[in-house]
Structure 1
Amino acid sequence: MGEVKVAAPIVAKPEHHEASGKATRAMLKSSRSEPGCIQYDLHEEQGNPGHFVFLERWKSAQALEEHMAMTWHNNFLAESGGKLEKLEVKKLIDIKE
């Protein structure tokens, strides 16, 4: 199996959207430096503060697993506990014509 694409929507509780935004941005540099990372982008839904989406591309399922085991990833999860309404990891497949 080859490249893995991920959409990870995150919704912060209203009282934590600023702190959650800071925590999500802190993930960018470290995650992008991983050897298996092709793309790691963060977006916020226009008009909906605290509604974030990570769009990720990894060289393989193994690279994604390694990312999810990284210290900064686990620190983000620990720091976000109780501050989020939703956190999902959706693995995507391409749809061909």
Structure 2
Amino acid sequence: MQTAFIRVTVRPDHADRDARAMLDLVEPTLGEPGCIAYEFCHDLDDPGLLHCFEHWKTCQALDDHASTAHMRALLDEFGSADRTLGFAPHLSLS
């Protein structure tokens, strides 16, 4: 089993838009082979901080998730010039 906790800091003026982009990942991600859980939420204290919890059957399933079309689209969206992240996402694996 592989569990990932991801914190993404975004520009506060784009937090709602970026949160919607992350929410759009939930349904297709839950349909991926090996996905046990995929949850997303805003930080209650920091509007520019987004959290994601992922639980996968195998490390390979998590690796495969990173190369899906919906993940690539999200990364392209977050990487666009007008939405530069405050810093790189923080990823913790267990």
Q: Same-fold call, TM > 0.5?
A: yes
Unaligned 5+ residue runs, structure 2? none
% identical equivalent positions: 24
Q: Partners of 1:46 and 1:64 in 2: how far apart?
A: 27
Q: Which residue of 2 aligns with 1:88?
A: 90
Name whichever structure is richer in helix by fraction. 2
- 1:88 Cα deviation from its structure 2 partner: 2.3
Equivalent residue in structure 1 for 2:74, among 73, 76, 92: 76
Please, what is the CA RMSD of the aligned residues? 1.2
Following TM superposition, the consecutive aligned residue runs of length 4 or more in structure 1 with deviations greater than 2 angstroms are: none
Q: How many residues align?
A: 90
Per the normalisation by structure 2, the TM-score is: 0.88
- Counterparts of 1:6 and 1:47 in 2: how far apart (Å)? 22
CA distance in 2, matches of 1:41, 1:18: 16
Larger radius of gyration: 1
SS of the residue 2:86 aligns to: strand
- Counterpart for residue 95 of structure 1: none
Cα distance in 1 for partners of 2:41, 2:23 equals 10
One-letter amino acid matched to 2:31: S
**Whole-Å separation in 2 of the counterparts to 1:88 and 1:71:** 21
